[in-house]
Structure 1
Amino acid sequence: MAVLDIMKAGHPVLKQVAEPVEFVNKKMRTLIEDMAETMYKTDGVGLAAPQIGVSQRIIVLDDGNGLLELINPEITHKEGSQIGLEGCLSVPGYYGDVERFDKITVKAIDKHNKKVTIKAEGFLARILQHEIDHLDGHLFIEKADNLQRIEPQTEGAK
């Protein structure tokens, strides 16, 4: 497994609509494992393939209840509304309030080419929508209100 480089805002791959995956093979499963390792090592809660320079419809995420690996995710139902603070590994140091649907249903396939359906609400729904936005070429800063830059804390800073 490997920690991959994360593309930053301004990189063209982050503005592209990612290509659907036809079939998940061994090479793609390795990519998915590397994406998960990268997400965990960078303290993220989600990562989309375009963020590592791969324009394919793959996301990994973990809301604290375990790793989800989804290929070709598609929101099939949405309801309600929530506003919450978001950040992004591709836009380091920036945070803002983003309005999202509170409850969603997502259909996708897993890394073994099996169909999966996820009913999500709250934080999990937020992460899914954020990562699916990446697959459609959108960054959270396009939707955020009260966008702020927060400087990282340095060792010994008061």
Structure 2
Amino acid sequence: MVKKIVTYPTTPSLEFGANVRFFNDELFAIVQDLKDTIQANDLDALAAFQIGSPLSVVVVKKDGEFIELVNPRVLKREGSITPVETTAYFPGMSAKTIRYKKITLMYEDRSGNQQFLEADGELAITIQRKIDYVFGSNFRVRLDEAEKKLFDSKLEFGTDAITQNDCPTVFKRDRILQAFKYLFIFGIIGVVSSFFMSDESLKSLVTVENYIMILMSFLIVIYFLYAQYEGKQYKHCTSCQIGNIIGTTIVLLMKLTVLFLAYYFII
């Protein structure tokens, strides 16, 4: 059965990572659910945590075949690499991690028999990433401090389009601008509608227009203050952001002034 994939910010509870002790139908059902979910989402692997199961189980798809890893443990590690990884737990996000180049793995198959597996390259990286979930973690713990700060910024702004030396292309303050835009449009529609309204309806319209302009004023203040706070998160581009914030604030004030003048002289 295809399951919903667990995504950030959901974290494992204390019950996650429990060793499988009973190799029964419950285990087989979870393994099949992992396979179905991997196929449905075109993934290369999943850990049981990622579909909401506490069991220590990982399923990897390699060359069209599934590898079932029950109670996996890394016994031997060799070398070090820094791949750029993605994971279904952090949809649309990527980060440069620190991984072992080659690993030797001990695990059990679905019959409870002990097995060993040597893996390198992409397979080794994938297995290490999934074992992180088995032990209640994720690839964030495999980042150095600089990469961790960068990745946290990506999570905060909800975009992968942030690099070490660039400002993000998407800001939370843009949502304030969207709200202001809609209020401005509603205000203009109200002014135009006044030509076709009765005196009684105009009284209600005046009240609505007053509220709209008050809300727009509040949004301008909130935008100006929050945008400065947000801009300071990126010291390397603070100056250009301040100029953009001031310019945007002036434009917002001009729009509010236009709406007020239209309201004053027409309604």
Specify if TM > 0.5.
Answer: yes
Gaps of 5+ in 2: 162-267
Question: Secondary structure, in 3 states, of the residue corresponding to 2:68?
Answer: strand
Asked if 2 retains the 8 angstrom alpha-carbon contact of 1:100 and 1:129, the reply is yes
Structure 2 match to 1:156: none
| Residues 1:125 and 2:151 aligned together | no
Q: Which deviates the most, 123-132 or 140-149?
A: 140-149
Output the CA distance in 1 between the equivalents of 2:160 and 2:9: 19
Gaps of 5+ in 1: 152-158
Output the CA distance in 2 between the equivalents of 1:79 and 1:7: 31
- RMSD over equivalenced CA pairs, Å: 1.9
Tell me the alpha carbon deviations over residues 33-56 of structure 1, each in whole angstroms, 9 at most, x when there is no partner.
111110121121110111111111
Output the CA distance in 2 between the equivalents of 1:121 and 1:23: 30
Output the CA distance in 1 between the equivalents of 2:65 and 2:23: 21
Asked if 1 retains the 8 angstrom alpha-carbon contact of 2:99 and 2:142, the reply is no
- The one-letter amino acid of 1:91's match is F
Output the CA distance in 2 between the equivalents of 1:38 and 1:49: 11
Structure 2 match to 1:88: 87
Question: Secondary structure, in 3 states, of the residue corresponding to 1:92?
Answer: strand
Tell me the alpha carbon deviations over residues 39-95 of structure 1, each in whole angstroms, 9 at most, x when there is no partner.
121121110111111111000012336211110000000010111111111110101
Asked if 1 retains the 8 angstrom alpha-carbon contact of 2:58 and 2:130, the reply is yes
Higher-Rg structure is 2
Distance 1:13 1:23, change over 3 A: same
The structure richer in strand per residue is 1
Shift of 1:26: 1.7
- The one-letter amino acid of 1:33's match is Q
Shift of 1:23: 2.1
Normalising by structure 1, we get a TM-score of 0.86
Structure 1 match to 2:32: 33
| Residues 1:18 and 2:21 aligned together | no
Asked if 1 retains the 8 angstrom alpha-carbon contact of 2:7 and 2:90, the reply is yes
Normalising by structure 2, we get a TM-score of 0.52
Shift of 1:114: 1.6
Output the CA distance in 2 between the equivalents of 1:103 and 1:16: 30
The structure richer in helix per residue is 2
Distance 1:114 1:55, change over 3 A: same
Output the CA distance in 1 between the equivalents of 2:35 and 2:13: 18
